[in-house]
Chain A
């Protein structure tokens, strides 16, 4: 193989070397850009859900209207929790830059706790709505509401699970290159969810109360 196709093999080797040089000269890893593209496609998923909710937002089918069922203080609390969790994760990233493993773990744990309180408040809200008879099958508006807000809550739950995994990873292997890259991806994911929440509290809750 090596002797018969020496010309081709040589070319391939040369190409490989060039690629490697290029690789070291700036693009350390394609993972971050790839993850960013994933987030953008996730944004399109939410776009579809926002569009569905927007179309169905006045289809009450004689059921409850937003003004009757939404509690803005609860939504304000959740908004505050998620915003604070965004900055606690940011502080974790700053600690990572300085290589402070313990501080990173502390900020990650605080972020996870804030995320859990967010999901907790949301589940409390959902259970209250369902107890009042405002179930997803009650009207088009409620189907759209539960799908959109539920999908966001599911994303946050996955984010919390990911933080848990990263706590174990950082605890076991420290802040190595791979873990740092993973934490950077998780950082984008977490901040992205906060951006989606801005859309949710604005278009679902605040505009719903004005209707």
Chain B
């Protein structure tokens, strides 16, 4: 069996490993902005409410992850016949279930099992 030729790898790689110069530069500029704003929000505290800052910081992180995925990892609908994107989305679902599920369960476990809670009868109702 012959080794894959250079052109094969190229046609392949264009969807996968390397994009254009502009995609890298756009990705870099967007990432820099999406990093600077959350750091500024937390370090300078222009908003007093910590919950608002926390939500904003998470939104910026999700946006930056998407920028990296498109501009640096070059995930698109055509790469590997869509399997790259499918695996990515599947992983994202598992990731959210693992993290959100763990936090949800352990939060309720904590509040229900806190020492002294049972005696006072203040058991939180798990939704």
Contacts and interface: CB of A to CB of B under 8 A. Distances in A.
Contact of B24 (A20, A29, A91, A96): A91
Chain A interface residue number, banded: 35 or more
Contacts of B57: 202, 206-207, 210
B91 interface: yes
Nearest to A29: B4
A134 B92 CA distance: 33
Nearest to A84: B28
Contact of A72 (B9, B42, B73): B42
Interface of A: 20, 23-24, 26-29, 32-33, 36-37, 40, 43-44, 47-48, 50-52, 54-55, 72, 76, 79-80, 83, 86-87, 90-91, 93-94, 96-97, 177, 180-181, 183-185, 187-188, 191-192, 194-195, 198-199, 201-203, 206-207, 209-210
Contacts of A51: 98-99, 101-103
Interface residues of B, number: 56
Interface in B53-95: 53-54, 57-58, 60-61, 64-65, 68-69, 72-73, 80, 83-84, 87-88, 90-91, 94-95
A44 B94 contact: yes
Contact of A194 (B8, B11, B54, B72): B72
Contact of A43 (B1, B11, B64, B95): B95
Nearest to B24: A90
A33 B17 contact: no
Contact of B102 (A27, A55, A87, A183): A55
A192 to B, nearest CB: 7
A54 B91 contact: no
A29 B9 contact: yes
A27 B13 CA distance: 10
A206 B4 CA distance: 46
Nearest to A195: B68
Contacts of B24: 87, 90-91, 94
Given A40-B87, A177-B3, A94 B21 contact: yes
Interface string B101-114: 11100100000000
B122 interface: no
